[in-house]
Amino acid sequence: MNWRTQLRRTLQLQLVDRRISALTLERRQLMTDERTQALQRAIRTDQQQLEQTVAEWERLLRHQRVLELEHKGKLQERDRSVQRLYGGSMHNARDLDGLQKNIAGTEARIGELETEILETMERRDVLSEQRSKLEDSLARNRAALDQRSKEVQRRLGEVDGQLPSLQVDREERARQVDVTVLREYERMRGGLDGVVVAKVSESSCGLCGVELSAMVLNTLRHGEDLVRCEHCGRLLLDEP
């Protein structure tokens, strides 16, 4: 048997197998695409924050309306009290003093309400700005996810289009390899990351780089048997 020819054929089979393995791995990675998952997480975060922001904005709006109603009522109450104070209908000093205190208390509450209304409006303005930023972020992430999904689907289509023809090529090349060599190749490749055959390069294993002994090199030159690297165990192909 011409071992060198068999190893050349095995090397070509190995190249096809490695291409199939690479595409299969890429397909698995595309199915659980990290970029897609990161965008999905970002969208969920944006949505949650947006919902919370909108809910808080609406709560503050309701609170502001309550304050404004109370403010309106207090203004009316103060105006009625002022009319009574200056209307000339009250002459009792105690009643006048009580009315003045009531007006002062109403004025104080009006001031508190106006301050609280202003603070509420300012807080709503801040939330409105946050809401706008979150909506922009959400729109960008959704657009990016849509684009990434198209890219993933396109690449999946390319990978799925290549794998069947590679499988056919693989079967054809496997038939060209001697059964004994093929059996050894199949047995070894699972534990060697798919690289079973290594070319000799300047008296060294072309894969691990370890210098080969004179005995190994002599056996390779005569082509009498399959020869393994003394370090990594791979089958050696010595091209003349």
* Residue 210 pLDDT grade (very low, low, confident, very high; cuts 50, 70, 90): very high
Average pLDDT, whole number, for the chain?
93
pLDDT at 240: 67
Q: Does the pTM of the predicted model rise above 0.85?
A: no
- State the span(s) of the chain assigned CATH 1.10.287: 30-164
The answer to whether the CB of 173 falls within 8 A of the CB of 16 is: yes
- Please, which residues bridge with residue 204 across strands? 201, 211
Better pLDDT: 194 or 172: 172
* Residue 128 pLDDT grade (very low, low, confident, very high; cuts 50, 70, 90): very high
How far apart (Å, rounded) are the C-alpha atoms in residues 29 and 147?
A: 17
Better pLDDT: 135 or 84: 135
Burial 189-205 (b: 16+ CB within 10 A, else e): beebeebbbbebeeebb
pLDDT in tens, 59-96: 999 999 999 999 999 999 999 999 888 887 777 888 88
**CATH 3.30.1050 given to domain 30-164:** no
Identify the CA nearest to 55 among candidates 130, 140, 113, 114.
130
What is the Cα 126 distance to its own chain's centre?
Answer: 29
* Residue 31 pLDDT grade (very low, low, confident, very high; cuts 50, 70, 90): very high
The answer to whether the CB of 213 falls within 8 A of the CB of 206 is: no
